Amino acid sequence: MPLVSTADLLHAAAARRTGIGAFNVIHLETAEALVAAAEDARLPVILQISQNCVSYHGGLEPIARATLAVAAGSQANVAVHLDHAEDEQLTRQAIDLGFGSVMYDGAKLDYERNVEATIRVVEYAHANDVLVEAELGEIGGKDGAHAPGVRTDPGEARRFVDETGVDALAVAVGSSHAMTERTATLDLDLIERLHAAVPVPLVLHGSSGASDETIVSAIRSGITKVNVSTHLNGFFTDAVRRFLSANPEVVDSRKYLREGRSAVAAEAARLLTLFAVTESATPGRAHT
């Protein structure tokens, strides 16, 4: 079916006070796995291509066109999003290619320069009916300003949204990028205060470091978009390692990449179901 608007998916989830999974594409196999997960769970998904992924592939267009084609060929509701773009021109390229949303990451800039750059991205995106996510301060884990103890201020967050016109905001509430253990402690009280202060959906980056129960609590406190990458990468890599260990003679990469793809599809479907919890639902089983 045709691509779905990221804005429609976010606003629908926010209205239900549920979460929606936004999972990173690393290569074609992960795009295929994530779409299969959405079809299996019968739930929407947001496929994300980061600036780091673009650098790995040597440019946006090849991986973008492949991901857009996989998304458009799915029976699920799938949106495609540019994640953590520090390059304004890259956001324009993604918009021109047909992405439903872009994240401009000006968090390394001082506040005023971040606002100015974000406004330029918003103006171009909104002229093309594309949603913009932004980040106020960096999420930790990549030598960022959101190191342990640093948090998003609700008043500053409201001011930033009002001044820039962004449509979603990534907030620092205790998570950290690239965590391989699910031990992060999130500030649920702060999430509630941010939800009350900010008139757009809130985004949790670094969700790989949070347990199932913690993420469910964060959703109930006001998080809408839940970004996951490292956690799913671990499933892919573990499955490939197991297959190669059991089948050392195999040289056809399709055979072991298929195993990784299947593992990601199964876990991504589980996470999509978990994030779609309602207030009365019981959190799903934690994966260890």
Nearest CA to 21 among 50, 49, 46, 42?
Answer: 46
Nearest CA to 277 among 215, 230, 187?
Answer: 215
C-beta contacts of 111-119 below 8 A and 24+ residues apart: 111/156, 111/160, 114/160, 115/160, 115/163, 115/164, 117/88, 118/164, 118/166, 119/163, 119/164, 119/165
Q: Dig out the tokens for 197 from the structure.
A: 């202060």
CA angle 258, 275, 37 (to 5 degrees): 20
Under a CB-based contact definition with an 8 Å cutoff, are residues 6 and 101 in contact?
yes
Would residue 129 show up in a list of annotated catalytic residues for this protein?
no
Q: Which of 8, 40, 83, 129 is catalytic?
A: 83
User: Is 129 buried (19+), middle (13-18) or exposed (0-12) by CB count in 10 A?
Assistant: exposed
Nearest CA to 260 among 242, 245, 277, 273?
Answer: 242
Q: Mind telling me the catalytic residues?
A: 83
